[in-house]
Structure 1
Amino acid sequence: DVSENVAGKAHQALFYLLEVASSCYLLESSLYPSMFLAFEPDEHDHTLSKLALRRKELEEVDESCYITML
């Protein structure tokens, strides 16, 4: 259950949007530093992806964590 108002700077549903390149972003967890939303293939249906938290250093390249917004 996600409330409409989030008190403080950390919450399980709060992610920080970090721009890493033009139109390319990472979503970092406010509760778990160095943990980012990532896309992982669904093990039962490879045409689908699911969101997961993945540990990553900012300098590390991990294509599954990048989100492109046009």
Structure 2
Amino acid sequence: MSSIDPTTAQMITAAVSRGAKPDADSVSYALLDARFRSFEITMRLDDVIAGVRKVRATFTVPTLDVA
């Protein structure tokens, strides 16, 4: 998220925190829930979906090694 504008970064954070999947409907509903305006969502939807996809891809769940 280094070369994106602050609003897009906030939108990615809001979508991820609301558990959005990396698809248009899920991200749009999450951003509407976060009170972003529809024209902002329309302008940045592709970037936010890519950001959500990147965050979900880098998320790892620690496992407990019981041996």
**Shorter-chain TM-score: what band?**
under 0.3
More strand by share: 1
More helix by share: 2
TM-score normalised by L of structure 2:
0.22
TM-score normalised by L of structure 1:
0.21
